[in-house]
Structure formats: structure tokens, C-alpha cells
Amino acid sequence: MDKEISFSNVNHVYEPNSPLAKLALNGVNLDIDKGSFVAIIGHTGSGKSTLIQHINALLKPTSGSVQVGNYTITSKTTNKNLKQLRQHVGMVFQFPEKQLFAESVLKDVMFGPQNYGKSSHDAEDAAKDALQLVNIDEELFDKSPFDLSGGQMRRVAIAGVLAMQPDVLILDEPTAGLDPEGHYEIMQLVNKLNVERHVTIILVTHQMEDVVEYASQVIVMEDGKIVSDGKVVDVFSDPNWLATKQLTLPKAAQFALDLGIGQNSLPLTIDDLA
């Protein structure tokens, strides 16, 4: 398998040289293969968000390096020449609908590709493709994004990232606050991008069912360190170890795991097992 992302001895200190200095990543080493579906779990404050922001150089390592495709990101990396990296790695932040701004759905989704130099015509094609992927009907294209339902707004915001046609998609709790149907739609979309378009997925989540159902690799973070990294079946095989991390598998997830149900076993869902 080709490697997509590699962290070598990455430390990240917030507010260095101040009394508030915080070592948020502590000696992180990590490899992610092209086309994989990786879940990152761990408690609030364990460093998940800090970790993912290194992948498109929103944050830079205080020491160590991050390799993403042809890019090497170190403490010396400047904000110049990051365009290609930011196109390659799409980032869906928590509550991405907060970033919607344009007067229409289509214009909002076209903004990214246009801003990155595509002609209006090509940007429109990319936006329409992305909106189709997230199941937004054409009749909504001219509406204000603020007139949509919460789930639709979330999907339009995700379409804005997909319109850049990223090869790597990072999602930070993309289903937070959605109802079960909205949750299912987003997870199906993410899975489809992985399976059909071979997009590498990095998903930060608290939902263990999703880890079992969709991910191939799981990374467990604690206090800025990676304390486990491997196949979901292996990392989750020891409930006692999980318990030491205050992580528990819901029954349905345990059942699915016992049955050997995992990534790409659709259309069976956790709901079918509950």
C-alpha cells in the first residue's frame, strides 16, 4: 500500500515559552495509507483536533515533521505555496454549516474551486457534482443556504469541501448534533467517497459504532500521545484495555465486531443489529 500521510516524532506546543505552554502532541509517529478509512478517538483534550490540523498545515509541528504526498511540513513551513496541499486535503470542521455565507447554495459550493483558480464553468461543474454526491436536489441550488434544514445545511457545507475534489478528507465529528437519519446520510456519504472514489478518510469521532462499521484503522489518543494504532478488530479486541481508557463499546458495536461485520459490509447497518 502507498503511504498517504506520515508523522515523524511530531511535538506540538501551544503558547511556547509562556507559563501557559501546553504540549498537545507528544512524540507522535503515524502512517496512513492511501485509500484507507481511519478513525481517531480519545477524550476531549487528548489532541485529536491538534493532530488533524497538522495534515493540511493549519498547525505546524513545533518539532518533527509531517509528510503528506510531496509536502513536508515542519516548524519552518511558511503559509506560502500551500494551495496544492489545501486542495489535496479537505477539512470538514465541527459544525461546518457555520461557514456557509453565500446568497445561494450553488454559489457557496462554487466558492472554493473558483477561489483556487477554476473558471466559473468548471467551478459550477465541480459544485454540481459535489451537491449531487451529498444528495442535494437541483431545486435547492438557488435557495439561500440559510433556508435549508440543519441536515441539508451540513451537507451543503460538506459539498463545499468536496467541490475541491480532495484526495484526503478529514472530518471532525461530522454528525454532531444531527438526528439519526442525518447521521446515517453523512456516514453513508463518507463511506461512498472512500469505497467508490478512493478518498482517504480521517474521521474524528466519539461514536464507536461508526468506528466498527466504517473504519479500517483506529487511532486512540490520550494526553497528546497515540496510545494505540491498528486494525479496528485488533484495537477493540481487548475490552479491558479499552476500559482503562474509559472507552466502552456499545452492545451493537460489540455484536457487529463479534460477527466480523466491518468496513464495507453495507447495506447492513448498526441499526439493523440493535
Separation CA 25–CA 266 (nearest Å): 35
Output 45 or 262, the one with its CB closest to ligand ADP: 45
Q: How far is CA 216 from CA 38, 185, 207, 231, in A?
A: 6, 20, 15, 6
- Which grid cell sits at 121? 464553468
Told to check if 155 binds ligand ADP by CB under 6 A, we report no
Shortest separation between residue 63's beta carbon and ligand ADP, angstroms: 16
- Of 2, 15, 181, 258, the one binding ligand ADP (CB under 6 A) is 15
Told to check if 246 binds ligand ADP by CB under 6 A, we report no
Specify the pairing of strand 71-73 against strand 63-68: antiparallel
Cis peptide bond prior to 180, omega within 30° of 0: no
Separation CA 39–CA 7 (nearest Å): 16
Separation CA 177–CA 196 (nearest Å): 27
Shortest separation between residue 185's beta carbon and ligand ADP, angstroms: 24
Per-residue string for binding with ligand ADP, 18-57, x by CB under 6 A? ----x-x-----------------x-xxxxxxx-------
Separation CA 209–CA 58 (nearest Å): 29
Shortest separation between residue 272's beta carbon and ligand ADP, angstroms: 31
Shortest separation between residue 23's beta carbon and ligand ADP, angstroms: 8
Residue closest to ligand ADP (Cβ)? 49
Told to check if 182 binds ligand ADP by CB under 6 A, we report no
Q: How far is CA 29 from CA 12, 111, 191, in A?
A: 13, 35, 26
Q: Which stretch binds ligand ADP (CB under 6 A): 1-9, 14-22, 188-196, 252-260?
A: 14-22
Output 15 or 258, the one with its CB closest to ligand ADP: 15
Told to check if 205 binds ligand ADP by CB under 6 A, we report no
Output 42 or 160, the one with its CB closest to ligand ADP: 42
Shortest separation between residue 143's beta carbon and ligand ADP, angstroms: 33
Residue 187: Cβ-neighbour burial (10 angstroms; 0-12, 13-18, 19+): buried
